[in-house]
Amino acid sequence: MLQAILIKRAFTTVSYRKANFSHVVIGGGVVGAAVASKLQLVSSNSVALLEQHPMLGMETTSRNSEVIHAGLYYPANSLKARLCVRGKELIYRELDPHIVPHRQCGKWVVAQNEAEGEYLESLRRNALELSVPTTIVSPSKAGNIHPLIRAEYGALDSPTTGIISSHDLTVYFQAQYENAGGLTAINTRVDDIEYCEQHKEYLLHCTEMGSDELFTISAENVVNCAGLHAPKIANMILPSSRHFQSIFCQR
C-alpha cells in the first residue's frame, strides 16, 4: 500500500521534491500512535506510521498492566514523575470513558511489617511533593473497610490511581491520526536507515511483510517508538561508538 502511494507521488514532478514525509514514526504501539496523532494535527506536517505487525498495539502495548499510575514511585524532581502525573490528568480530563474505557478506581499499597510501613511513609512524602493525594490507612481501619485484605502495618490509599483499556486507547489515537490525514503502514518492517546529507533527509529501507517487497521512503524526521526494538532502530543511525545494547533479562 505505502509503496503504491509513493510510486504515484513520484510522477507528480520531474524536479527534486522534498522528502516523502515530514515525519516517520516507527512503531505502532500506544506511544507511537499517540505521537503520530499529535504530529499529524500540525497542518504543515505529513506523517507516516510504520508498524511491522498486521495491526497496531500487538507487542508491548498488549502486555502492560493497563494501570493509570498516580505518580507515587518516581523521584519528585524527575521527568518520569512529571510526565506520569500529567498523563494521568490528561486521561481523566480528555478521554470519554464510553469511547476509551477507563475508571478511577483507586489503589491500596499494603504493608505487612515495620520496614514496609516505613516504605509507605516514604511514598506518601514523595506523593505530597507532587501534589498527588494519598492517605495512610491504619491496620484497624483497613480491616473494617476491606476485611479480606491483610494489612498488618496499614495501607497507603491512592485515590487517583486507575485502570484503562490500552487497546481502545491505541485505537482512539489511530482514529484521531488517520482522520487528520495520517498514513498508517502495517506489515511494514524497517530494515535499515541512512541519512542523506545532500538532501537533509533520512532514507528508510523497508520490507513489506508477506510479499517481501523492498522499498525506500524518505523523511525529514524519524521518531523511534519501536518499544523493545528501539535500540535496534537507534543503532541503524548512530555511530558504532554510541550503539545501545539490549538486556531484557539479567541475573
pLDDT at 8 over 90: no
pLDDT at 168 over 90: yes
Domains of the chain listed by start with CATH number: 2-63+167-242 (3.50.50.60), 67-164 (no CATH)
pLDDT at 14 over 50: no
- Mean residue pLDDT of the chain comes to 93
CB-based contacts of 7, cutoff 8 Å, min separation 6: none
Encode pLDDT of 75-102 as tens digits.
Answer: 999 999 999 999 999 999 999 999 999 9
Q: What pLDDT score was predicted for residue 249? A: 74
Grid coordinates representing 42 are: 500540525
The whole-number average pLDDT for the span 160-180 is 98
pTM of the model: 0.89
Secondary structure of the chain: what % helix, strand, coil (to 5)?
Answer: 35, 25, 40
> How far is it, in rounded angstroms, from Cα 125 to Cα 250?
32
Find the DSSP H helices in the chain.
Answer: 2-10, 30-40, 79-94, 114-129, 139-145, 166-179, 230-237
Encode pLDDT of 104-160 as tens digits.
Answer: 999 999 999 999 999 999 999 999 999 999 999 999 999 999 999 999 999 999 999
